[in-house]
Structure 1
Amino acid sequence: MSTGPAPGPAPEPAPVPVLTDQDQDRDRDDGGTAAPRPPGRRFWAVRRVPAALLAALLLGGAGLLLYDVAAVRAEHTAMAWRSSLAEGLATRPLDDTAVLVGAGVAVLLGVWLLLLALTPGLRAVLPMRREHPDVRAGLDREAAALALRDRAMEVSGVQSVRVRMGRAKAAVRAVSHFRELDEVRSDLESVLTAGIDELGLARPPALTVRVARPPRKG
């Protein structure tokens, strides 16, 4: 009976790499998890409806004007609206009421369009902290207010809560039917402060808490 070769020594386990403080610092500098996070910015609204309305108005006006100009070049009479408009612009003084009203409407429309172009919009969406540079997240203000309301209702002595969530301020009004109002307010402030931090917002709003007794019946 033959026997095989004796088994060799077991292979030694691979050494476990040890991350030193210098390696951690280098990872932070290279964009690791400890690198500074980019600030959360507001989301920009698409604004399809104003853009579509403006494009339709411009397209319709330009098309009608080009059609009338082409008709005049083809030795046809100009449309009545363009003739009356040209005559009115040539004869009316600048201080005429119709001219002033038209200029005011044009200025208001231009200011409105500039505000739409320069402001982000989407006021109902609160930007959240960016854990990764390529990922953006937002939280609806109503959902944030509902989460804070649920946290506030867990406080002992709270009967009802109303939360108004803004971009810079969270206003909480609670009704307490027992316990001291100062104690309830203190508990609400601590609970809601932790709740706002757990929402993960890029710019946590300032918290204001008001506690009152329920109205007396009769």
Structure 2
Amino acid sequence: MTDTKPSEPRAPHEPRAHRFRSARRVPAALTALAVLAVAGLFLYDLAAVRAGRPAMAWRRELARQLDRQTPADLAVQLGGGILAVAGALLLLMALAPGLRGLLSMRTPEAGAGTGLRAGIGRKDAAQVLRDRAMEVPGVRSVRVKVGRSRIGVRATSHFRELDDVRADLDTVLAAGVEELGLAHPPHPRVKVRR
């Protein structure tokens, strides 16, 4: 554990913790296989035509359809729109990090050169903070929801003053967040009621 406060600037030699990204190996492999199959089919048919054989029936039919249809036809516009939306969706999925449920943790200086990365799940972090909050005297129940930038805490108190319980919860949660060692610690937002 380090005594560094989350609000202090990062040391120049300390690496920046990036978000975790999903590997997406299976979708990438399936997309590559589909593109390879279609390209191979077109290449085979093109080579067959160049060798003096007739084109495949599906390609002749496709050429006839393209000859009859114009860009002003509704079917062509619908098909183009569907393909554009599918392409935009694939681009979004490729650029999005994917593993949003993991929060990056600070790594020790010794692990800086080894590529060591650590993370904790949001639900696990919420459970740790909930257990810490339940130790506060006067707290009957607590619900904790951990997001990327905020921690939502709803507590029910049953015998102490609400301001005292809220102050104790703020202190305990600040210590709990620091002990989690998150690279970008979220800020707790505490609500206490009877």
Q: Does 1:116 align with 2:97?
A: no
Q: Does 1:207 align with 2:188?
A: yes
How far 1:165 moved relative to its partner?
A: 1.2
Retained in 2: the 8 A contact 1:126–1:138? yes
How many residue pairs were aligned? 180
For the pair shown, the structure with the greater C-alpha radius of gyration is 1
The match for 2:107 among 117, 130, 137 is 130
After the TM superposition, which residues 76-115 of structure 1 pair with which residues of structure 2 at under 5 Å, given as runs?
76-115=53-92
**C-alpha distance in 2, partners of 1:117/1:128?**
24
Give the number of the structure with larger relative contact order, counting CA–CA contacts within 8 Å between residues 6 or more apart: 2
Q: Does 1:157 align with 2:134?
A: no
Q: What is residue 192 of structure 1 aligned with on the other side?
A: 173
Q: What is residue 42 of structure 1 aligned with on the other side?
A: 19
Q: Does 1:69 align with 2:46?
A: yes
Retained in 2: the 8 A contact 1:39–1:130? no
Q: TM-score, normalised by structure 1?
A: 0.72
Would the alpha carbon gap of residues 68 and 201 (structure 1) be closer, same or farther in structure 2, given more than 3 Å must change? Answer: same
The one-letter code of the counterpart of 2:187 is A
Unaligned runs of 5+ in 1: 1-33, 214-218
**C-alpha distance in 2, partners of 1:138/1:105?**
38
> Alignment identity in percent?
56
**C-alpha distance in 1, partners of 2:56/2:22?**
40
Q: Secondary structure at the match of 1:123?
A: coil
Q: Secondary structure at the match of 2:188?
A: strand
